[in-house]
Structure 1
Amino acid sequence: MGASPWTRCQCLSVGGIEMLIGSLLRHATERPRDPALWVEHRWWCWQELLQAVLANADRLTGYPSGARFVTTFANDARAVVGALSLMVDGHVEVPLGDQHSAEHVQSVRSRSNAAAQLSCQDVGLAVAGDPNVGIKRLQRSLQDRRPDDDALILWTSGTTARPRGVVLSCGALFANASGKLDAVPQTPRQRRLTVLPLWHSFARTCDLGTWLISGGALAVTLGWKGMLASAPAVQPQLVSVVPSLVKRMLAAGGAELDAQMRQWGLGQLQILACGGAALAAEDYRRLTALGLCVIHGYGLTEAGPTICSASPDTVRPGYVGRPIRDTQIRIDANGELWARGPGLMTRYLDDPAATAAVLQNGWLRTGDLALQDADGMVRILGRRDETIVCSNGLKLQPLEVEQMLQRSEAVQHAVLWQDDADQLVAIIEPAQYAKPAVDVVQELESLAAQLVSWKRPRRWAILSQPLAPEERTAKGTPKRRIVGPRYAPTATTFATGKASPG
């Protein structure tokens, strides 16, 4: 794989106002002809991007500043143009993507009190107008913006509670993206391929936000098939993924992974950032053996999302790095991690009680248990409210066992659950459904033997089909409180079918 210069890109504000849209103005002014966004099989330059963004912003001039717009953009260049056009005049985006039902979209629109809904059909890709006039128009607009203005409402994935609208300000979005960029520097000459949904916080900040500030080149697609279709033309050096995508990549690459990466168009890949869930140690080892820099991080939507991030010179398997710039953490007497910094959410939308429960004196209560080493590196142990009290009175974090089981290439996801008889049950969504359940269990029992006996699963449920959409969070991870009760009763020493809940 190619070597990275690791040149730090200085994060500048425009007129002292630190906002992402100000970065668009800076690049269009200082580097107007440099590649910016992959649009319909060619690179747009920053000047073209600015012109298209302003043309779309002009269509929204009838709405007052601060108006909310639910967007159902597909994950492509139009989503970027649409998002930037809403930033121009200080509108608030409520991104949902294009994969929800009309009823869900209408529900979110109602809960968000949105003025309108925008889809890809509402975003034009015409490049027209005098760029100098456009620059002056954006400069005037920036003079009316404040860092604490609402900018984005992201609906949480519902991993642990009913989805809530997380309100992030202009200043928070800039602070979080610049903090991530400080941890993982990028240059204006690097190409980034986004394969994760821009309606989630990870891609919104770690892809879109860092790209805007650094001034590199960005291409946007979605998922495994999108990556295979786009990477050969883009030849990315930066890609962000989730563990399930890594497992698919490793399984498809097999023993000839290095050669296969080149065939996929990933031969110039330098940095692979992984978030959303923990990456299995064996998967990490195989990727780093290719010469890739694999970056772990940690955060949650309420934090914008990044709280901690590894850097190229501090990567360590099992750790999520140190707190990003300007972010502080503390771990209380119960082992729970709290965070404070400029990238945190302002509030939950229309829910002051829920806001007060997690935001206390400027500190965000994450609900995650963590340890911090003497050198500042952080390790996440699991969720505070998912702790299992075993029959021997000892406490167990499911994540410890799940990560052990997910070392197997045969496992896509693992959920550890305590059944009504206080037995530990492992519910396994296999990565390869053709493999017999008994063979999967034998492999997993061998891995579990590395744990002390009281932490080992006593029964197994090997699912014969992928988890259903309602059984997954928006990040693609299992919804523990649905999957556990639903499939634990079907478990035996092994289970060959995915039974319907009784």
Structure 2
Amino acid sequence: MSDPANWSNREMVTDNDLVIAPDQATTLPGLFRQRVTRTPDRTAFRQFDRQTDKWREYSWRQVAEAIGCWRHGLRIQGLQRGERVALWLANSVAWVACEQAALAEGLVVVPLYARDNAANLAYILNDCGARLLVVDSAAQWRQLRGCGHALPSLQQVVCLEHIDESGRPESLWPVAQWLPRDPVADNGPILQSNDLATIIYTSGTTGRPKGVMLSHRNILWNCWAVLQVHPARPDDLFLSFLPLSHSFERTVGYYVPMMAGCCIAYCRSLQELAEDMRLIRPTILISVPRIYERIAARIEEQLERKGRLARWLFAAAVTVGFRCFEAQRDQRTPTLRDRLIWPLLRQLVAIPMLERFGGRVRLAVTGGAPVQEGISRLFLGIGLPLVQGYGLTEAAPVVSTNEPANNRPTTVGPPLPGIEVRLAEDHELLVRGPGVMLGYWQQPELTAEVLDADGWLKTGDIARIDHGFIRIIGRSKEILVTSTGEKVAPVAMEMALEQHPLIDQAMVVGEGRPHVAALLVVNPQAWMRLAAHLGLDADDPASLDSDAARAAALSTVSGLLRAFPAPAQVRGVCLLSEEWTIDNGLLTPTLKLIRDRVAVRYARQINELYRSTRSVSLARQGAAPLHDEQSGSP
């Protein structure tokens, strides 16, 4: 197996003229052609080949040849300009080749989430009228066929894996038979920058997914604006593990490195992410908060096994390191004590922790959802340059981002250059700029609701803007209004609750109720420790509903929410052991909570919370909270 640690040493390039401007590219396939022309033999992608058990490198020229073959296959299929091609594929060079081929032929690409359920995918395929679907495996096609939804517009399905000819459906073709071996000989149709390039379906937290229509210009401009704030170097190495169906990964983790001439390495799987980070040693990470939360949880579990000294050293490193981070950001000199102790803590704690990321990450970006303040403090404290950004698919998608030199981790940073933001009367964030979508696919009325004649997009997010930095408060549709008329933003509360080791997931409820309460999914290990402390049987489901467990959890919750206003004080809790996942329909493919479904699933428990006065009486008893020595937190 080749050694990824040596890859960057072979191709150190510092010529920033390699960056391709939007007016030079014009379209997304134009961007790719420009990249091939400028750096044909540089490594474009790295991908693990499980058949040979080796990492394989692909140059821009090699990928261009593959794209030519895919374009030939699309032409043979007889697809017409503007028709839709859907991709239900894992991140791979094949994803890139198929997508670029479809774009170059004037087709519209519809990416599908690999972990989405079949019924949802069938809805999307029918809504966009996809004519061709490309899948990784025949099992995916069987899953679609078995969901009970007809797919009348779908003409053909191409599968990347080998298919046994016996019993093969007529519409399902293995790529080895479908794909011509010779590429097309011409450039194809002439495309314009404002042509529709892709339809990206939102994850459907409040109903059916909506198809966001983005032009070539929308995406190219957003890439260029990102590069003005976070310049990428041609020797940067991106590690791609978020699905390319996610607009954040597709723009920032795919088109941005293409525009800058960087290399992209595809992670083998999320299960192998930790090993791949150490092996590949990326310089830039693009992720959602959940990945950092999982890494933080693993760190905490390991510290628990190592004992009190390790926990104390880690906590000290985070505290001192974060103070040094703030001093550097604010152009202050750290205190003498911090200057003396930090080099030792950095050597003992921070550097070994950073090695888990490969040891040379110069920029780690988190977006797609709010990040817990404690998570930001942890990673910034050990020296990981973690910046939070904000965006939405309707804006192609990045709206704002912090930058390392002026990083305010409780905000999502100032808007990108060229983007205008303002607040409506109800503090909803409005956005205007070249990245704002063309509209929703076949939904002009819904488009008019969120996009006015002057180009202002209603984001649906409640925000504050302090000295140019945007702070997201919560979703306007998620604001709870109690029966007393008080308005409560649950997301910030849930993030505060999920920072505690006992609480893996939280949902605050209270719409139309006299006060707010919380559903809490407990961490299995932390629950075992709490149950033992309370003299309960952790394996008995009834223990979660015991007065002692609720009292301890409620008191802990009260402490975590102490800084929140009075209407946001939780007066009842329900402890749950079932994790909320994509598979059980309670999370979207982008790991967002589907509140309506959670509320329906636990309607009985929620009603019990408000029928009973037990939660209020428990709060008045002043039950002892779960302290650090009980939870094992550092």
Could you tell me how far apart the structure 2 residues matched to 1:338 and 1:76 are?
35
- What does 1:435-474 correspond to in 2, within 5 Å? 435=527, 436=530, 438=549, 440-469=553-582, 470-474=585-589
Counterpart of 1:367, as a letter, is G
Counterpart of 2:128, as a letter, is S
Q: Does the CA-based 8 Å contact 2:515-2:567 persist in structure 1? A: no
Q: Does the CA-based 8 Å contact 2:411-2:469 persist in structure 1? A: yes
Report the more deviating stretch, 72-81 or 292-301: 72-81
- What does 1:184-223 correspond to in 2, within 5 Å? 184-221=230-267
**Of 464, 471, 475, the match for 2:590:** 475
**Of 15, 39, 43, the match for 1:35:** 43
Q: Report the CA distance shift for 1:77/1:33 in structure 2 as closer, same or farther (over 3 A).
A: same
Q: Does the CA-based 8 Å contact 1:335-1:369 persist in structure 2? A: yes
Hey, what does 1:395 align to over in structure 2? Answer: 487
Hey, what does 1:365 align to over in structure 2? Answer: 458
Counterpart of 2:560, as a letter, is L
1:318 aligns with 2:334: no
- In structure 2, the gaps of 5 or more residues are 1-7, 50-54, 137-158, 161-174, 304-313, 315-348, 531-543, 619-634
- Report the secondary structure of 2:123's partner residue: helix
Counterpart of 2:361, as a letter, is L
CA positional deviation for 1:94 = 0.8
Q: Report the CA distance shift for 1:260/1:129 in structure 2 as closer, same or farther (over 3 A).
A: farther
Could you tell me how far apart the structure 2 residues matched to 1:342 and 1:226 are?
38
Q: Report the CA distance shift for 1:27/1:128 in structure 2 as closer, same or farther (over 3 A).
A: farther
Could you tell me how far apart the structure 1 residues matched to 2:361 and 2:581 are?
32
- Report the secondary structure of 1:59's partner residue: helix
The structure whose Rg is larger is 2
CA positional deviation for 1:151 = 0.9
Hey, what does 1:88 align to over in structure 2? Answer: 104
1:299-340 CA-partner distances (Å, limit 9, x unpaired): 212111111111222221210111112211111122111111
1:346-395 CA-partner distances (Å, limit 9, x unpaired): 11111111111111111111111111123x11111112222223455432
Q: Does the CA-based 8 Å contact 1:416-1:484 persist in structure 2? A: no
- What does 1:69-468 correspond to in 2, within 5 Å? 69-120=85-136, 121-122=159-160, 137=186, 140-141=187-188, 144-221=190-267, 224-254=270-300, 255=303, 258=350, 261=353, 264=356, 266-361=358-453, 362-374=455-467, 376-390=468-482, 392-418=484-510, 421-432=513-524, 434-435=526-527, 436=530, 438=549, 440-468=553-581
Hey, what does 1:61 align to over in structure 2? Answer: 75
Q: Report the CA distance shift for 1:350/1:455 in structure 2 as closer, same or farther (over 3 A).
A: same
Could you tell me how far apart the structure 1 residues matched to 2:526 and 2:554 are?
14
Counterpart of 2:233, as a letter, is T
- Report the secondary structure of 1:277's partner residue: coil
- Report the secondary structure of 1:158's partner residue: coil
1:4-60 CA-partner distances (Å, limit 9, x unpaired): x99977753477443232232222222222221013312212222222222222211
Q: Report the CA distance shift for 1:430/1:209 in structure 2 as closer, same or farther (over 3 A).
A: farther
Hey, what does 2:607 align to over in structure 1? Answer: 489
Quick check: which one's helix share is greater? Answer: 2
Q: Report the CA distance shift for 1:115/1:343 in structure 2 as closer, same or farther (over 3 A).
A: same
**Of 15, 26, 33, the match for 2:34:** 26
- Report the secondary structure of 1:144's partner residue: coil
Q: Report the CA distance shift for 1:332/1:102 in structure 2 as closer, same or farther (over 3 A).
A: closer
Q: Report the CA distance shift for 1:197/1:452 in structure 2 as closer, same or farther (over 3 A).
A: same
Q: Report the CA distance shift for 1:230/1:161 in structure 2 as closer, same or farther (over 3 A).
A: same
Counterpart of 1:172, as a letter, is N
Q: Does the CA-based 8 Å contact 2:25-2:34 persist in structure 1? A: no
- Report the secondary structure of 1:323's partner residue: coil
CA positional deviation for 1:115 = 1.5
Hey, what does 1:499 align to over in structure 2? Answer: none
CA positional deviation for 1:128 = 11
CA positional deviation for 1:448 = 1.8
TM-score (norm 2): 0.70
Counterpart of 2:258, as a letter, is L
Q: Report the CA distance shift for 1:321/1:263 in structure 2 as closer, same or farther (over 3 A).
A: closer
- Report the secondary structure of 2:405's partner residue: coil
CA positional deviation for 1:485 = 4.7
Counterpart of 2:459, as a letter, is T
Root mean square deviation, CA, Å:
3.1
Could you tell me how far apart the structure 1 residues matched to 2:268 and 2:578 are?
22
Q: Report the CA distance shift for 1:304/1:425 in structure 2 as closer, same or farther (over 3 A).
A: same
Counterpart of 1:194, as a letter, is S
Counterpart of 2:590, as a letter, is K
Report the more deviating stretch, 266-275 or 478-487: 478-487
Q: Does the CA-based 8 Å contact 1:195-1:226 persist in structure 2? A: no
Q: Does the CA-based 8 Å contact 2:502-2:526 persist in structure 1? A: no
Q: Does the CA-based 8 Å contact 2:524-2:577 persist in structure 1? A: no
Q: Does the CA-based 8 Å contact 1:253-1:260 persist in structure 2? A: no
Could you tell me how far apart the structure 2 residues matched to 1:354 and 1:6 are?
46
- Report the secondary structure of 2:457's partner residue: strand
Could you tell me how far apart the structure 1 residues matched to 2:17 and 2:471 are?
28
- In structure 1, the gaps of 5 or more residues are 495-502
1:457-492 CA-partner distances (Å, limit 9, x unpaired): 111122202114311122112112222354323557
Q: Does the CA-based 8 Å contact 1:194-1:222 persist in structure 2? A: no
Could you tell me how far apart the structure 1 residues matched to 2:20 and 2:481 are?
49
Hey, what does 2:62 align to over in structure 1? Answer: 48
Could you tell me how far apart the structure 2 residues matched to 1:8 and 1:460 are?
55
1:90-123 CA-partner distances (Å, limit 9, x unpaired): 2111111433455443332221111211123346
Q: Does the CA-based 8 Å contact 1:223-1:245 persist in structure 2? A: no
Could you tell me how far apart the structure 2 residues matched to 1:183 and 1:283 are?
23
Report the more deviating stretch, 290-299 or 408-417: 408-417
Could you tell me how far apart the structure 2 residues matched to 1:313 and 1:259 are?
21
